Amino acid sequence: MEVEKFQALVIDKNQEGFHIGLKQMALDNLPEGEVLIRVQYSSLNYKDGLACTPNGGIVRSYPHVPGVDLAGVVITSTDVRFEPGQQVIVTGFGLGVSHFGGFSQVARVPAKWVVPLPAGLQPQEAMLIGTAGLTAAISIELLEHNGLSPEQGSVLVSGATGGVGSFAVAMLAARGYKVVAATGKASEHAYLHALGAREIIGREQLNPEVRKPLEKQQWAAAIDPVGGSSLAFILASLQAGGAAAVSGLTGGVDVPTTVHPFILRGVHLLGVDSVNYPIDRRSSLWEQIARDLKQQGHLEHIARLTIPLREVAHYAEEIRQGRIRGRVVIEV
């Protein structure tokens, strides 16, 4: 591949409507940044699914190249911390949102967003993990900082077959937690057991018809990438002093809760923001994720599909519909 001319998935919205497709780009089309990267792999996240729709509320201006994750090789860098040939990862910050993202064979990004690829991790494995794995790891970090340990009881993971959910199940199991996985996919129980879930419940159990301000105490903690009304039930069902780490909104943005779980059971609501997770802690978190998942052999259990750039538009619709199991890795 020439570096001067390369392909990218470009979305555009103008008077003629919304358009998504592969386009030939030149280096001059890329935004400013210190590090020029030959992108090898990217991945598809729910946020990318939203970016690929006309009213997803993610993209700041058009035309735009989406993709919140990338892994690749440095071509040139004006920042001395990075050198040509070095393998790197970029996730979050403005990538794929306010800055051209990873669905492009070449990307130019600020050096302050770049993390060296951890030793022992292949670029495609880094993208299997991607923002989803990072978000699951941050969720666990927050819960353990709040005092969670395996002897306190089971940990609920909602949206369990999705990207964040799959990694949350696998990482919690690897750390010795008893995981209860909640899913809307009745066909995926064997998958969730293989990831390490001890118990599986239907998504509808988190949305009972009759709601009480406080429910039976069931979980020491929860990792919730779903949000919406099921989060209200989760908060009402946590053990006293328990916590929910909340990262997402696939189930909606409104949470019809009361103050009772907080003031009568001392429950904690912990917000997870992988986008702005500090760069000085990212490398060590990536190394820990790679070590934990590889040592336990859990990485190989995460469901994955590898697709070329030209199939992204199709799978963007699939992820918006909640039909993806595990992760979609993009070979760029």
Give whichever of 25 and 231 is closer to ligand NDP, judged by the CB atom.
231
Alpha-carbon distance 193 to 127, whole Å?
23
SS3 of residue 165 by DSSP: helix
| Cα 166 to Cα 298, 303, 314, distances in angstroms | 10, 8, 22
- The minimum distance between CB 68 and ligand NDP, in angstroms, equals 8
Whether the CB-CB separation of 272 and 246 falls below 8 Å is answered with: yes
Question: CB 16 → ligand NDP: shortest distance, Å?
Answer: 29
Supply the minimum distance, in Å, between the C-beta of residue 36 and ligand NDP.
Answer: 26
CB 329, CB 304: distance < 8 Å = yes
Instruction: Give the residue with the Cβ less far from ligand NDP, 82 or 277.
Output: 277
Among residues 162 and 265, whose Cβ is nearest to ligand NDP? 162
Q: How far is the CB of 235 from ligand NDP (least distance, A)?
A: 16
Where residue 234 falls (left for φ over 0; alpha for ψ -120 to 50; beta otherwise) is alpha
Q: Measured between alpha carbons, how far is 206 from 44 in angstroms, rounded to an integer?
A: 27
Cα separation values, 104 from 62, 203, 277, Å:
16, 36, 24
Cβ proximity to ligand NDP, 50 vs 74, nearer residue: 50
Residue with the CB atom nearest ligand NDP in the bound state: 162
Nearer to ligand NDP, 245 or 332 (CB): 245
Q: How far apart are CA 86 and CA 184, in angstroms?
A: 41
Positions touching ligand NDP (CB under 6 A) are 45-47, 131-132, 135, 159-165, 183-185, 203, 225-226, 247-251, 272-275, 319, 322, 324
Task: Name the minimum Å distance from CB 111 to ligand NDP.
Answer: 22
| CB closer to ligand NDP, 77 vs 131 | 131
**Whole-angstrom Cα distance, residue 268 to residue 143?**
9
Minimum distance between the CB of residue 113 and ligand NDP, rounded to whole angstroms?
15
